[in-house]
Amino acid sequence: MNKRIIEAYVGEYASGKSENAINRALELNSQGRKVRLVDLDLVNPFYTLRPIKKELGQKGIEVVAWGRGEATGLGEAGSLLKPEMKWALHGGGDVVLDIGYGIEGLKVLNLIEGAAEDKFLKVYVVVNIARPMTAAVGDIIEYVTSLGEVDGLINNSHLGTETDREIIHEGAYIVSKVSQELGVPVVATAVAKEYAHLVGKKDPMGNPIKIIDLFMKDAYW
């Protein structure tokens, strides 16, 4: 059996961490691995994985998030930790953690039994430079440093429906700069499938391109 994969995706609000987490879970799933995807957005849980829980479940991923029916009676915002979330690392299989935004950042991992001391845990920071708070090298360094120890950076720079080559490349450049300064590798430049034609196998800085499917657009509206 392959080594267990445990990954946490963290990033600024609306940086695309959920999209990257979902795609990673799907990737592992397609390799025939057992995957559990955990929604740890405690600031705004009802806006993240809940609406697509069923769809992902049908693909064979175990999604630990509040479902529509389960949320009944839990109050308006449902900022609650589901017991299954606390024990997410137990029971084997791969685990992908979608860490919500918030000033406490990675401290959310304290809520997961065994996460802090898990030797397999890898933490990836998702960055979109079109987000004004993480647009410049200095701001991103400040942000990443505030998180504590991380294992890799993902350039997820895009402009939604107005994404062009320039923003992807600019993102690659800036995130690579951060990587050099911090000594943390860029593990990928993520590009939505709709914009795959804008890129090749590698971005101009030599980082691998990872094509992702977008799910969150169906999350609401």
Partner 1 sequence: MEQKPIQGEKKVFMTGNETVAWAALAAKADIMYGYPITPQNEIMHYWTRLAPKHNRKFLQTEDEISAGFTTVGGVLSGKRAFTATSGPGNVLMQDSLSMAEMMRIPIVMVVTQRGGPSTATVIYSQQETTLTCFGGNGEGIRVVYSTASHQELFDYTIKAFNTAWKYRFPTFVLGDGYQSQMREPLKIYDPDEKGIEFVPAVAQLGVEGEAGVDRDPIHLRNTYNMEDELYEVVRGLVDDFKAVAPEIEEYREQDVDDCEILVVAHGIVSRAVEGAVQQLRREGIKAGSFRPITLRPFPEKHLRRNAEKARKMLIVESAEGQLRRLAADAIYGCQTPMEGLFRPGESITVEEVVQAVKGLL
Asked if 13 is part of the footprint of partner 1 (rule: CB under 8 A), the reply reads: yes
Is residue 184 within 8 A of residue 144, CB to CB? The reply is: yes
* Minimum distance, C-beta of residue 141 to partner 1, in the bound complex (Å): 16
CA distance 131 to 207: 21
Asked if 138 is part of the footprint of partner 1 (rule: CB under 8 A), the reply reads: no
Asked if 133 is part of the footprint of partner 1 (rule: CB under 8 A), the reply reads: yes
Residues 49, 154, 167, 187: which binds partner 1 (CB under 8 A)?
167
Q: Which is nearer to partner 1, 76 or 117 (CB)?
A: 76
Asked if 117 is part of the footprint of partner 1 (rule: CB under 8 A), the reply reads: no
Residues 58, 76, 119, 201: which binds partner 1 (CB under 8 A)?
76
CA distance 16 to 132: 14
Cβ burial, residue 2 (10 Å; 0-12/13-18/19+): exposed
CA distance 203 to 136: 19
Q: Which is nearer to partner 1, 29 or 48 (CB)?
A: 48
Asked if 82 is part of the footprint of partner 1 (rule: CB under 8 A), the reply reads: no
Listed ranges 43-51, 61-69, 84-92, 187-195: which one lies at the site for partner 1 (CB under 8 A): 43-51
How far is Cα of residue 127 from the mean position of the Cα atoms in its chain?
A: 10
Indicate the SS3 state at residue 71: coil
How far is Cα of residue 24 from the mean position of the Cα atoms in its chain?
A: 8
Listed ranges 26-34, 39-47, 84-92, 183-191: which one lies at the site for partner 1 (CB under 8 A): 39-47
Is residue 35 within 8 A of residue 25, CB to CB? The reply is: yes
Asked if 2 is part of the footprint of partner 1 (rule: CB under 8 A), the reply reads: no
Applying CB under 8 A, the site for partner 1 has a residue count of 22
* Minimum distance, C-beta of residue 90 to partner 1, in the bound complex (Å): 31
Task: Single out the residue of 14, 19, 18 nearest to residue 212, CA to CA.
Answer: 19
Asked if 111 is part of the footprint of partner 1 (rule: CB under 8 A), the reply reads: no
Is residue 205 within 8 A of residue 173, CB to CB? The reply is: yes
Q: Which is nearer to partner 1, 121 or 140 (CB)?
A: 140
Asked if 158 is part of the footprint of partner 1 (rule: CB under 8 A), the reply reads: yes
Indicate the SS3 state at residue 36: strand
Is residue 37 within 8 A of residue 63, CB to CB? The reply is: yes
Contacts with partner 1 by CB under 8 A lie at 13-14, 43-44, 46-47, 76-77, 128, 130-133, 135, 158-162, 167, 220-221
